[in-house]
Structure 1
Amino acid sequence: MTKLNGIRAVAFDVFGTIVEIGDKRRPYKQLMQKIYKAGREKDLKDAELLMSTNIAFSNVPSLFDMNLSPEEISLLEKELMSELSTITLYPEVLFTLNSLKEAGYKIGLCSNLATPYAKPVKELLPFELDAYAWSFEVGAIKPEERIYQKLCEALHCMPNEVLMIGDTLEEDYLGSRSFGMHALHLNRSCESQMAESISKLDELLSIPL
């Protein structure tokens, strides 16, 4: 494992990294399918727009200049609430976060996600973190440089003082490294051949930072 010296802050991706969804209802996918069925032409950037816009779930159709019935929206909102209620922390997260805090590191989150998912995640955390770079607040998604920049600014750290950890290779590892940050790739499914990879977050605690 590569030694990572000079680190003052550790930032984590969210879904697949510190939390998981127990019952994936995929309400946004269902909503977009209805929007497309109503006449909206599919665009590869629709998902990016959803995650980079601070908008309530019920207002998403208006973002695409479309209308759905109140009944359709209500049913999908129930799906959303059901999904949100099954968000849980991975087993080693509390110990890892508490250990980093006790060691004096700043801690942040940097995630591509839609607006409703942030609150339930924050409610699971053991304490208020130092920085949150939510894509819907920043107006940019990983691996765009702007979201890493906002993260570093919120942490009051230079990029080379921040370690980014996440399960997505391009967004969390390659993207942050290209911005000048340190990074570790989280691969929970199997042991990775990459030198800078971990399979559980608490493995981070054995690395000299």
Structure 2
Amino acid sequence: MPIVAAVFDAFGTVVHIKRKHHPFRRLLRIGAQQGRRPSGIDLHCLMTSNLSLEAAADRFGITLSSQQLTSLQQDLDDELESISVYPDAVDALLMLKAQGIVTGICSNLAAPYGPVLRKLLCDVEAFALSYEVGMMKPQEGIYRNICDQLQVRPNRGMTPSGERVMMIGDSLQCDQIGPEAIGISGYYLDRKGAGGLTNLVQFAQLVIEDKR
């Protein structure tokens, strides 16, 4: 029986934030108001380090009043509370589980979002999260990490042992082009209907058909 693993991006693909406040972006704006020049590596630092809001402020040399920190934390807490799983993601994961297909999440995100993701998706077998792995999509290492956790070897076609890894997400670069560089079959999700795949049930059907 072929072994097929299905890997998903997280935000915008499997889960979404209903109330967006962008607290880390607000933090960087406060830093800019204090004369700190934004850097191109700020995002990379936030996404590849295990940083709370307060720790991120310390890392970037941003001074926060207790009122500012409280306001940012309240915004972050409200964002985290508003995260929910897309209905089609629930259906897709159930379809894959019923077929014995292992699933994983490979996502770029800041540390506070990880525990919520794991709680909401507790039936998913593996998580490669940028702040834990220390790499961001589309770096090859993060894709290799999720494959190692799922104990599969990426290959666009079936390997002699019958293994294949398929991935989907809402970023063409990170979820289709990036993973294909190491042999993962990548698919782009466009929930607005302009792309080939508009929901995760379609993807699950592709994965199941491939397994057969």
**TM-score, reference length from structure 1:** 0.91
1:174-185 correspondence to structure 2 within 5 Å: 174-185=177-188
The one-letter code of the counterpart of 1:16 is G
Counterparts of 1:13 and 1:7 in 2: how far apart (Å)?
20
Report how far residue 162 of structure 1 moved. 1.2
1:150 aligns with 2:145: yes
Q: 2:21 aligns with which of 15, 21, 25?
A: 25
Report how far residue 7 of structure 1 moved. 5.3
> Do 2:30 and 2:62's aligned partners in 1 also have CA atoms closer than 8 Å?
no
Three-state SS of the structure 2 residue aligned to 1:88 is: strand
> Do 1:11 and 1:164's aligned partners in 2 also have CA atoms closer than 8 Å?
yes
1:118 aligns with 2:114: yes
Three-state SS of the structure 1 residue aligned to 2:168 is: strand
Q: Where does the alignment leave 5 or more consecutive residues of structure 2 unmatched?
A: 156-163
Residue 165 of structure 1 corresponds to which residue in structure 2?
Answer: 168
Counterparts of 2:194 and 2:35 in 1: how far apart (Å)?
45
Q: Where does the alignment leave 5 or more consecutive residues of structure 1 unmatched?
A: 1-5
Question: Which runs of structure 1 show a deviation greater than 2 angstroms over 4 or more consecutive aligned residues?
Answer: none
Three-state SS of the structure 1 residue aligned to 2:167 is: strand
The one-letter code of the counterpart of 1:205 is A
1:14 aligns with 2:13: no
Counterparts of 1:146 and 1:206 in 2: how far apart (Å)?
28
Counterparts of 1:121 and 1:133 in 2: how far apart (Å)?
11
**TM-score, reference length from structure 2:** 0.89
Residue 191 of structure 2 corresponds to which residue in structure 1?
Answer: 188
Per-residue deviation, residues 150-203 of structure 1 (Å, max 9, x unmatched): 1111111101221111000001110000121111110101232xxxx4100001
Counterparts of 2:119 and 2:205 in 1: how far apart (Å)?
28
RMSD of aligned alpha carbons: 1.5
Counterparts of 2:81 and 2:46 in 1: how far apart (Å)?
21
> Do 1:109 and 1:131's aligned partners in 2 also have CA atoms closer than 8 Å?
yes
Residue 3 of structure 1 corresponds to which residue in structure 2?
Answer: none
> Do 1:7 and 1:163's aligned partners in 2 also have CA atoms closer than 8 Å?
no
Report how far residue 60 of structure 1 moved. 0.6
The one-letter code of the counterpart of 2:145 is K
Per-residue deviation, residues 101-153 of structure 1 (Å, max 9, x unmatched): 1101111000000001111222222x432110000000010000111111111
Counterparts of 1:119 and 1:60 in 2: how far apart (Å)?
18
